[in-house]
Amino acid sequence: MAASAVNQKPIPPVQSFDPETFDLLNVPAGYTADPYPYLAALRTESPVHRNPDGTYVLTRYDDITAVYRDPATWSSDKTADFAPKFGPGAPLYEHHTTSVVFIDPPDHTCIRALFQHAFTRRALEALRPRIETLVDAHLDRFEDAGEMDVVEDFAFKLPIEVVCDMLGVPAQDRLLLRGWALAILTALEPKLTQDQLDAGNRAVTEFKTYLKDLLTHRRAHPETASETEVLTVLADAEADGQKLSETELLHQCIFMLNAGHETSTNMLSHGVHEMLRHPDQIARLRADPGLIEPMVEEVLRYQAPIQINNRRSTRATTLGGTDLPAGTTVHMIIAAANRDPDAFPDADRFDIARRPNRHLSFGLGIHICAGNALARLEGAIAFQRLFARFPNLTLKSPAKMANRLRFREIEELRVAAR
Ligand code: HEM
């Protein structure tokens, strides 16, 4: 994962942070290493915060859920935001304004229905033995080596293998995808360099060409498709009697490949990290393996892999007592909502038995993550097998955090088996 490591300059103490001056495009030096104290101050003192660029930063659970629940007022369409950012006609613009997550009904309703073909209960159950086999193979290698980088050797490999299996991407091409995904998703960060823009545009073009060839090949040789493959299912599925155009199809596949691994990778890395930082919770899980599902939820709540979602108002509205005009862009800080003490008692405590746990890490409402059941399944299988098999797992060096805002990413997490 190639993002640069956290800046090593001295970091001013969070106590000297004035929430009124917060700027999401220029966050305080310590923010990416540990955003939560900054978010807590914002939530208390400036919960509907006007960013210097005129957008708003939301940190309260109730305000964020209100936005998710009202898609008529709060649009996911990104054409207005991304035209100046990427330039209309740029490959990044085409991708990020076509994929299912960044469009509104009625188009969203049709495309979302197609995704349901890929995520039926039957499709998911068919993936379970494959996920178990993959996890065990990675853990065998860990046992032989005695140590591993959790990110590189486990958390990255498992989700990309699963989502590539689903789309029928051959094993030897999976590393290519990793670079493309990183470039395309990095382009969603609030601030970009020209090099990042260029890399993102190149990645979309190359990814589209790659998938087009794959689809052509799959259609010519349907016998090469695996039992769980969804590429041709998506291509041939119809919603309201309509098929996706080829451009729409390719962008949905790119989105699914990207959404399906980057986020799950971060969930797995953070899960291992938080458990190692809280050995009492490892002991609890060992004593009661039935806690595996609430544990996955708590990892997702505590370190939201996607920290920020966005919406834009289609009309004048009021949020948390603040009047907002039509055309206002809001940054919904999921990471802050997930630690809101009004929604989660003792919100900064990592508690694998927490119930209820209505975190917002998969979003909410019509765009709620289509792959959430798959991500949860991957998490449950991976954590259950790792902690059952390696009771003496230890951290070899402090986790290396990436310098990104939207995706909460660990770059390196070295552990030993004994
Ligand atoms: C821990 C892992 C994951 C997290 C934290 C996550 C998070 C999210 C979030 C927050 C959204 C909503 C975005 C919004 O409302 O603007 C979303 C949407 C989506 N996710 Fe995930 N996701 C994860 C895994 C996956 C996987 C494994 C897949 C597929 C293989 C996937 C596919 C999708 C799709 C297709 C959407 C768009 C749904 C729509 O717009 O209707 N995600 N995800």
The one-digit pLDDT tens for each residue of the chain (418 residues) are 333 334 445 667 787 899 999 999 999 999 999 999 999 999 999 999 999 999 999 999 999 999 999 999 999 999 999 999 999 999 999 999 999 999 999 999 988 988 887 788 888 898 999 999 999 999 999 999 999 999 999 999 999 999 988 888 888 888 888 899 989 999 998 889 999 999 999 999 999 999 999 888 888 887 877 766 777 777 777 666 677 888 988 999 999 988 888 899 999 999 999 999 999 999 999 999 999 999 999 999 999 999 999 999 999 999 999 999 999 999 999 999 999 999 999 999 999 999 999 999 999 999 999 999 999 999 999 999 999 999 999 999 999 999 889 999 999 999 999 8
Q: Is 370 in the pocket of ligand 1 (CB under 6 A)?
A: yes
Reported as half-sphere exposure (CB side, CA atoms, 13 A), residue 227 has a value of 9
Which atom of ligand 1 is found nearest the CA of 266? 1
Query: CA separation (Å) from 105 to 76, 108, 112, 144, 326?
Result: 9, 5, 10, 51, 18
Q: Which residues pair with 147 in a beta bridge?
A: 416
First to last CA, the chain: 26
Residue 130 backbone phi and psi in degrees, to 5 = -65, -40
- Ligand 1, atom 19: nearest CA belongs to which residue? 369
What domains are there in the chain, each with its CATH number? Answer: 14-416 (1.10.630.10)
Q: Is 267 in the pocket of ligand 1 (CB under 6 A)?
A: yes
Q: Please name the residue that has the structure tokens 């790659």.
A: 210
Distance CA 52, CA 187 (A): 21
Q: Is 100 in the pocket of ligand 1 (CB under 6 A)?
A: yes
Query: CA separation (Å) from 131 to 93, 157, 265, 388?
Result: 34, 11, 14, 16
Q: Is 253 in the pocket of ligand 1 (CB under 6 A)?
A: no
Q: pLDDT per residue over 162-189, tens digit each?
A: 998 888 888 888 888 889 998 999 999 8
Which of 161, 303, 372, 381 should be mutated for ligand 1, with most atoms under 8 A from CB? 372
Would residue 223 show up in a list of annotated catalytic residues for this protein? no
* Most distant CA pair in the chain, distance: 63
The pTM score is 0.94
**Residue 342 near residue 61 (C-beta atoms within 8 A):** yes
Q: Count of CB atoms within 10 A of residue 120's CB?
A: 12
190 three-state secondary structure? coil
Strands 56-58 and 329-333: parallel
